[in-house]
Structure 1
Amino acid sequence: MAIIRPARPSDAEELSTVEHAAYANYVDHAGVRPEPMTEDFSPLIGDERVWVAEHEGAVMGLLVLTTRPDHLLLDSIAVSPDAQGMGIGRRLLEFVEEHARAHGLGEVRLYTDEAMTSNIDYYLRRGFVETRRAVDQGRRRVFFTKHLG
């Protein structure tokens, strides 16, 4: 079982490696590099916005979160291809909900690229509701919300 912990500055390079590996297949599929592949983790770690899923001492997944006054924004989630199927993505999403509740927030929001159809299906299966589709920063995005009970 993966543990979720705050990212440390020493994790930055490994986080970048995980994110690149997790999103690499979308470059061919969507024809562009997904935005998370350009992430500079150092300032995000300094702002305490990055969380790590660690399994047997290795970083297997990550979250980038932004706390807003009325919701928690899931900016990025990635699981290493080597760890897919181990329940790490599910555990990360559970953590997102726990984190939102702990901060008194009753809603989680996220968005994904419209070409990432497997992500869209994944979020729908986990109780997220599509709220809209729009071009945002030159990319076609699908926006989701999940109200926490």
Structure 2
Amino acid sequence: MEVRRATVSDAAALTEVVRAAYAPFRAAGLRLPEVEAGIAEAITDAPVWVAVEGAAIIGGVIVRHSDTSTMVENLAVHPDASGKGVGRRLLQAIEQWAQQLGLPGLHLATHVDMAATIAFYRHLGWHEVGREGAKLYLAKTLNENDP
């Protein structure tokens, strides 16, 4: 498996990965935003990485970065690649990128009923920083010397 920065030519395949990754949650009745919309624009406007196995994109992560915040907007792994360390590798790539920029940490929001997803992030050192309705906010400190 290779993790690399996404290109616009990856947009259609990454959109399908995102759709497949969230399908089980939607089938279980969770009301989720339309996270598969705007993937091509995200690749153009934001840092996006993809995990590739052979010629197939099996996962991706979109990051929104500003002067005040670095947010993991979407992390998705195709269900066929679940349990193979794809999500971990994608997060390692963005953590390395963020550390190279000297960023103090990362933030994200997930659904409170996505227990396995929350456990995954906690296992990787993320901690809860708040809740709002069905959203659970998590953060990970990258540079311990920063506030």
Please give the TM-score of this superposition, normalised by the length of structure 2: 0.90
Q: CA RMSD in A?
A: 1.5
Equivalent residue letter for 1:7 = A
User: What are the within-5 Å matches in structure 2 for residues 1-149 of structure 1?
Assistant: 2-32=1-31, 34-135=32-133, 140-149=134-143
Matched residue of 2:63: which SS?
strand
Equivalent residue letter for 1:31 = L
Q: CA deviation at 1:132?
A: 0.8
Moved over 4 A (4+): none
2: CA distance between counterparts of 1:48 and 1:110? 15
Is the CA contact 2:46–2:65 (under 8 Å) kept in the aligned structure 1? no
Number of residue pairs the alignment of both structures matches: 143
Matched residue of 2:35: which SS?
helix
2: CA distance between counterparts of 1:12 and 1:108? 24
Equivalent residue letter for 1:142 = L
Q: CA deviation at 1:36?
A: 5.0
Is the CA contact 2:130–2:138 (under 8 Å) kept in the aligned structure 1? yes
Q: CA deviation at 1:70?
A: 4.0
Is the CA contact 2:8–2:44 (under 8 Å) kept in the aligned structure 1? yes
2: CA distance between counterparts of 1:94 and 1:145? 14
Equivalent residue letter for 1:143 = Y
List runs of 5+ in structure 1 lacking aligned partners. none
